[in-house]
Amino acid sequence: MTQPEVRESEAVVEQTPDEYQPELIEPAWREKWEESGLYRQEIERDRPKHYALTMLPYPSGDLHIGHWYAMTPSDARARYMRMKGYNVLFPMGFDAFGLPAENAAISRGIHPKKWTYENIARMRTQMARMGAMFDWEREAVSSDPQYYHWTQWFFKKLLEQGLAYRALASVDFCPQCNTTLAREQVWGEDRHCERCGTPVIKKEMEQWFFKTTEYAEELLDFEGLDWPERVKTMQRNWIGRSTGAEVLFRTEAGHEIPVFTTRPDTLWGATFMVLAPEHPLVDEIATPEQQAAVDAYQLQAERMSEIDREAADRPKTGVFTGAYAINPVNQERIPIWIADYVLMAYGHGAIMAVPAHDERDFEFALKFGLSILPVIERPDGLTKSYAMKGTMKEGFAAALDAEGIAYVEEGGSTYVTLAPERVADYVRVAQAHLQPGSWTEVVGTGWTFVFPDEWLVLDSLKNERRILARCRELEPAVRDYQTVMEMLWGLDFYRDALYHSDYGTMIFSGPFSGTPGDVAKERVTAWLAEQGTGRRAVNYRLRDWLISRQRYWGAPIPIIYCDVHGAVPVPNEDLPVTLPEDVEFMPTGESPLKFHAGFREAPCPICGRPSVRETDTMDTFMCSSWYQYRYLSPGYEEGPFAPEEGDYWLPVDQYTGGIEHATMHLIYTRFFTKAMRDMGLVEFDEPMLALYNQGMVLGEDNEKMSKSRGNVVAPDELVDQYGTDTVRLYLMFFARWDQGGPWNYAGIKGPRRFLDDVWSVATADYQPADVDEAASRDLRRKTHQTIRKVGEDLESFSFNTAVAALMELRNAIMDAQREQNISQVVWEEAVDDLLLLLAPFAPYITEELWQRRGHPYSIHTQPWPDWDEEVAREESITLIVQVNGKVRAKVDVPAGISNEEAERIALAEENVQRWLDGKKVRKVIVVPDRLVNIVV
RNA sequence: GGGGCGGUGGCGAAAUGGUAGACGCAGCGGACUUAAAAUCCGCCGGGGGUGACCCCGUGUGGGUUCGAAUCCCACCCGCCCUACCA
């Protein structure tokens, strides 16, 4: 394969000293590389391409060690691929829009643009020191108008495709300051405004969304992607596909309330309904008596953010609406409540509550005294395992009637109990057998009944009607349903008997009683469809992507609102809609664009009537969803990327970055690519074919690095002290790349000594004193084994073991140098190969030494050395001899000996014989070229 | 609560069914030096033995196997992500 840029060797640094001094050679080579265009990456149709991409940074200020940790191993692998003959694209850019720039503007009075571009300039020089093969001519910066021009263009394309829409969504709003607030501006438990301290409220505003849910099903398909299982699992969970049924409930007044359920087989156990507090029907159905309570609850729910609402261990709260619904399967009349554990954003914002088989509903029912009705038999028969058989008090056992129910009069009260097999049936039994009016509510298994004026909790499990609580005695403080239920809740027994979420045979479910659990869901769903009260349904946890941000420093949404024509997209010839720079940053939390008349006021593109622009900007995740395409041709003016570049380079072959982007960014960019495919822009389905996640470098204290902890490692200082190559090498050596770990300053000396040794052997004038053929063969073997090992390790991102293998080769070469018994040819091959193998890891020193050894520029365009299987093969191996699995001898034997021969040698060993003494050999296991295990 | 990752010398780590601790750091002994640093040579999991060797050892307890850090079951601990998704 042809390699570009092979030139005559020429001295880059005049008079370079004989010792390794990275501070002299590194800047010199950097200049030479740039001037010779070593890292220009252009289409070469006769070579296979490899698009290596590493996640682009946010220009936060300084390049920290985490950037080095993410980028330099990715760079080493890209360099390796280049030496393997691929035409490698390895670009870099900046994800430059975002909140920190705006915060800097507000707190320090620096314009976001100035802050951002100064940071980019600084980080670009810091990145240059890394010696990475970035092609800066392909740099893309998302806040450049020539970049966000196309971000806006994509917005319009998505709109045309029907994948963008406008809808009401709630934002945090401060009623005092009369402005929307970002999440970061809402403080404290009570969620008050950062500035004025007023509690914030949720306010509905028109915002733009992308229909990510349109691709939910396709996003679950990872076919052909070489991605970590972990990321795929996280995405699957994020998308959260559930199958079940949509069931139509009606209120007594006739309002339709559709609900989604994954458990249509539990429909007969629905004892109440719950609507999300913001459900549109709530105001219509609430009865006048309940209206005040409902209003109060809604107001309180509105003030809570979703995060607070979703804190799962919060106790359940809710309010009765006063309305009732009819269960379509059995016409039961069930109360309708509102509670914030039901989320408006999922399903239909309403649920049928089945407390016996849903833990949240169970908790809610206990708290508010709602009926609990098991309709699924426990698959494990646990209900029955609480049998009172033989322990039931005589009087009860004797009184059991044919249906397994007993009534005992005692001391003016009626005690009722059920045979254990009737436990699940208690409500029916009670309704059928107790006099109407003689009980108010049945709340337990067969062991718990509630009578008028006296709440009794009996424990018949222990063969006694022990009264656990008699509420009348506890009056007045605890005489309420909740107290009793909380007490019951503490008794695991009741919970076990009443609640489980397993599938099982249906009971007390009208015509479906007896339906086995494995087909129950399906049969009920089919029946619902027949009845016209429901249908099969799939629901996703994934929500549409809200892209509107009430912010300045982002790409403006290219929309003009006209009184007549509504939301009109800005015509292509007027793109980009540029951000005005003369804006004022007042700490209002409101986008300054809103107060910029020159920006805000614009004629309608259709009729020319004075109109207003959209002043919201786009979520920065939108900019980073398509950056891999912009790198191909960052200056291209006819579209987001030049088609001929796309044809050659796309898609990305290897993506590397942190696990923190497993869901958001990586789902968004997949969504984008699928939408682009449907727009006819690309012909593939997935943006990145392979993905690998690196770990994180922690501070020396094993904590996440942060300025406040004072444990931040500054790469620039390390480079000043040890040189770039040493820092790169150490980052790849000190931990497994996918795991990361705490930084350790002392350890960096190892890689530096290694490079000093490489320098010394590569500049040594080696003369063999006395050539030993066997020793020469040994070094040559080690060299070829190392070529194999380093290649394999780079393929699999095992940078640490690759560096270890290079150190081993260094050790072998230095031993040989001491002995001076290696042939000249083998020595030169070993040293040259060491440099070639090391080149992806330490680009500067290898370039320098390659030149000093008289080879043509550049080492980085040399082909990766080949290894010879014959040469790499071991001549002799250490045969391990075990007796009953314990090592008893080690023997050097020629490689490839027969099993019989190995067994013979093993048995002949003196120590082995001692262990075999007098015992009978039962079995001998021989693993070729490895070990012999003798079983006695 | 759910999902994931991990637990191996003084430390970072190798080894994914076959010699546990490759490679490196730190440490110890020696050489060089007036001395220190650097460099070079040697040792470096614990215990026993003059020695050949022996015993113990990969978070804990079981299991599978001729053989387990590695596979299976149960548990303990740490970290990360996620969280009322009906």
> If pLDDT is split at 50, 70 and 90, which confidence band does A366 have?
confident
Q: Name the nt closest to A703 by C-alpha to C1'.
A: B79
Q: Name the nt closest to A660 by C-alpha to C1'.
A: B81
Query: In the predicted model, is pLDDT for residue A459 greater than 50?
Result: no
A532 backbone dihedrals φ, ψ, rounded to 5°: 75, 20
Closest protein CA to C1' of nucleotide B25, residue: A747
Mean of per-residue pLDDT scores for chain A? 82
CA distances from A418 to A256, A489, A534, A549, A664 (A): 39, 21, 36, 61, 54
Q: Name the nt closest to A241 by C-alpha to C1'.
A: B85
Closest CA to A169 of A157, A180, A154: A180
Closest CA to A617 of A262, A73, A152: A152
Q: Name the nt closest to A341 by C-alpha to C1'.
A: B84
How do residues A581-622 score in pLDDT, each as one tens digit? 888 776 565 678 888 889 999 999 999 999 999 999 998 889
Q: Flag whether the ipTM exceeds 0.90.
A: yes
Mean pLDDT, rounded, for A7-36: 76
CA of A664 to C1' of B81 (A): 13
Q: Name the nt closest to A696 by C-alpha to C1'.
A: B80
- Asked whether the beta carbons of A520 and A512 are under 8 A apart, the reply is yes
**What pTM, to 2 d.p., does this model score?**
0.85
Q: pLDDT at position A760, please?
A: 93
CA of A784 to C1' of B41 (A): 28
> If pLDDT is split at 50, 70 and 90, which confidence band does A186 have?
low
Q: Name the nt closest to A878 by C-alpha to C1'.
A: B19
CA of A887 to C1' of B68 (A): 15
CA of A313 to C1' of B2 (A): 13
CA of A737 to C1' of B7 (A): 18
Closest protein CA to C1' of nucleotide B66, residue: A935
Q: pLDDT at position A507, please?
A: 75
Q: Name the nt closest to A245 by C-alpha to C1'.
A: B86
SS (H, E, C) A874-910: CCEEEEEEEECCEEEEEEEEECCCCHHHHHHHHHHCH
Q: Name the nt closest to A242 by C-alpha to C1'.
A: B85
Query: What is the enclosing helix (H) or strand (E) of A40?
Result: none
Residue corresponding to tokens 């209003």: A295
Mean pLDDT, rounded, for A926-935: 89
- Asked whether the beta carbons of A741 and A734 are under 8 A apart, the reply is yes
CA of A814 to C1' of B49 (A): 37
Q: State how far the Cα of A779 lies from the Cα of A786, in Å rounded to an integer.
A: 10
CA of A719 to C1' of B36 (A): 26
Q: Name the nt closest to A890 by C-alpha to C1'.
A: B19
Q: pLDDT at position A99, please?
A: 81
CA of A234 to C1' of B82 (A): 9
Q: pLDDT at position A515, please?
A: 87
Q: Write the DSSP string, A794-858.
A: HHTT-HHHHHHHHHHHHHHHHHHHHHT-S-HHHHHHHHHHHHHHHTTT-HHHHHHHHHHTTPPB-
Q: pLDDT at position A278, please?
A: 87
Q: pLDDT at position A436, please?
A: 33
Q: Which nucleotides of chain B does any protein CB come within 7 A of?
A: 1, 3-6, 11-15, 18-20, 22-26, 39-41, 52-55, 66-68, 80-86
CA of A800 to C1' of B29 (A): 31
The DSSP bridge partners found for residue A742 are: A698
CA of A747 to C1' of B42 (A): 22
Closest CA to A747 of A787, A790, A713: A713
Give the list of residues 6+ apart from residue A296 with CB closer than 8 angstroms, or none.
Answer: A319
How do residues A143-176 score in pLDDT, each as one tens digit? 999 999 999 999 999 999 999 999 887 777 777 7
Q: pLDDT at position A300, please?
A: 82
Give the list of residues 6+ apart from residue A504 with CB closer than 8 angstroms, or none.
Answer: A376, A377, A378, A379, A517
How do residues A84-133 score in pLDDT, each as one tens digit? 999 999 999 999 998 888 888 878 888 999 999 999 999 999 999 999 99
- pLDDT top residue among A308 and A242: A242
Mean pLDDT, rounded, for A854-858: 95
Give the list of residues 6+ apart from residue A541 with CB closer than 8 angstroms, or none.
Answer: A237, A238, A239, A240, A241, A242, A346
Q: Name the nt closest to A363 by C-alpha to C1'.
A: B84
Query: In the predicted model, is pLDDT for residue A311 greater than 80?
Result: no
Q: pLDDT at position A749, please?
A: 93
> If pLDDT is split at 50, 70 and 90, which confidence band does A389 have?
very low
CA of A722 to C1' of B42 (A): 28
How do residues A478-537 score in pLDDT, each as one tens digit? 334 444 444 444 444 455 556 778 888 887 787 888 888 889 999 999 999 999 999 999
CA of A793 to C1' of B62 (A): 37
What percent of chain A shows pLDDT beyond 70? 81
Locate the DSSP E strands across A411-503. Answer: 413-418, 448-451, 454-459, 466-470
CA of A303 to C1' of B10 (A): 54
Q: Does A476 sit behind a cis peptide bond, omega within 30 degrees of 0 on the bond before it?
A: yes
Q: State how far the Cα of A111 lies from the Cα of A101, in Å rounded to an integer.
A: 8
- pLDDT top residue among A678 and A363: A678
CA distances from A372 to A262, A322, A369, A653 (A): 19, 19, 9, 55
- pLDDT top residue among A484 and A40: A40
Q: Name the nt closest to A348 by C-alpha to C1'.
A: B86
Closest protein CA to C1' of nucleotide B39, residue: A753
CA of A739 to C1' of B47 (A): 35
CA of A878 to C1' of B63 (A): 32
Closest protein CA to C1' of nucleotide B5, residue: A739
CA of A817 to C1' of B42 (A): 19
Closest protein CA to C1' of nucleotide B1, residue: A312
Q: Name the nt closest to A883 by C-alpha to C1'.
A: B66
CA of A742 to C1' of B70 (A): 25
- pLDDT top residue among A366 and A647: A647
- Asked whether the beta carbons of A652 and A51 are under 8 A apart, the reply is yes
CA of A797 to C1' of B38 (A): 35
- pLDDT top residue among A732 and A230: A732
Q: Name the nt closest to A237 by C-alpha to C1'.
A: B3
CA of A28 to C1' of B24 (A): 30
Closest protein CA to C1' of nucleotide B19, residue: A880
Percent of chain A that is helix, strand, coil (3-state, to 5): 40, 20, 40
Q: Name the nt closest to A240 by C-alpha to C1'.
A: B85
Query: In the predicted model, is pLDDT for residue A544 greater than 90?
Result: no
